[in-house]
Amino acid sequence: MNTPMPKEIQNLPHFTIVTTDEALKRVCAQAAQKSVVALDTEFIRIRSYYPKLGLIQLYDGEQVSLIDPITITDFSPFVALLANANVTKVLHACFEDLEVFQQTFQQCPAPMYDTQLMANFLGFPNSTGFATLIQHYFHLTLDKGASRTDWLARPLSEQQLRYAAADVWYLLPLFYKMEAELSSTSWLDAAKQDSAILCQLRNQEKNAHHAYFSIPNAWKLNPEELARLHLLAKWRQEEAIRRDLALNFVVKSDSLWAVAKYAPKHTSDLLALGLHQSEVRIHGKKLLLLVEQAKRLSPESYPPKIKRLVDDPRYKFAIKQLQKGLKEVAPIGLAPEVLASKKSLENLLAWQWAEDKTTLSQPELLKGWRKEYGEKLLMKLDGRECCHTEST
Compute the distance between CA of residue 151 and CA of residue 129 in angstroms, rounded to an integer: 21
**349: which residues sit within 8 A by CB, 6+ positions away?**
309, 315, 318, 319, 322, 381
Residue spans of the chain under pLDDT 70: 1-2, 383-392
Specify the pLDDT at position 384.
Answer: 54
Compute the distance between CA of residue 140 and CA of residue 288 in angstroms, rounded to an integer: 58
CATH hierarchy code of domain 7-203 = 3.30.420.10
Specify the pLDDT at position 357.
Answer: 83
Compute the distance between CA of residue 37 and CA of residue 344 in angstroms, rounded to an integer: 32
CB 237 within 8 A of CB 211: yes
Q: Does domain 309-387 have CATH number 1.10.150.80?
A: yes
Compute the distance between CA of residue 187 and CA of residue 161 in angstroms, rounded to an integer: 35
Specify the pLDDT at position 2.
Answer: 66
Of 123, 82, 87, the residue nearest 106 (C-alpha): 82
**357: which residues sit within 8 A by CB, 6+ positions away?**
351
Structure pTM? 0.91
Specify the pLDDT at position 355.
Answer: 86
Superfamily for 208-301? Answer: HRDC domain (1.10.150.80)
Specify the pLDDT at position 96.
Answer: 93
327, burial (CB in 10 Å: exposed 0-12, middle 13-18, buried 19+) = exposed
Tell whether omega for the bond before 331 is within 30 degrees of 0, i.e. cis. no
**216: which residues sit within 8 A by CB, 6+ positions away?**
253, 254, 257
Task: Let me know if the fold of 7-203 is the same as that of 208-301.
Answer: no
Instruction: Name residue 91's beta-bridge partners.
Output: 114
Of 22, 18, 30, the residue nearest 84 (C-alpha): 30
Compute the distance between CA of residue 7 and CA of residue 184 in angstroms, rounded to an integer: 24
Specify the pLDDT at position 368.
Answer: 96
Give rounded-to-5 percent helix, strand, coil for the chain.
Answer: 55, 10, 35
Of 231, 56, 256, 260, the residue nearest 151 (C-alpha): 56
Catalytic residue positions, numbered: 40, 42, 97, 163, 167
Q: What phi and psi, each to the nearest 5 degrees, are found at residue 145?
A: -65, -25
Going from N- to C-terminal start, the domains of the chain cover 7-203, 208-301, 309-387
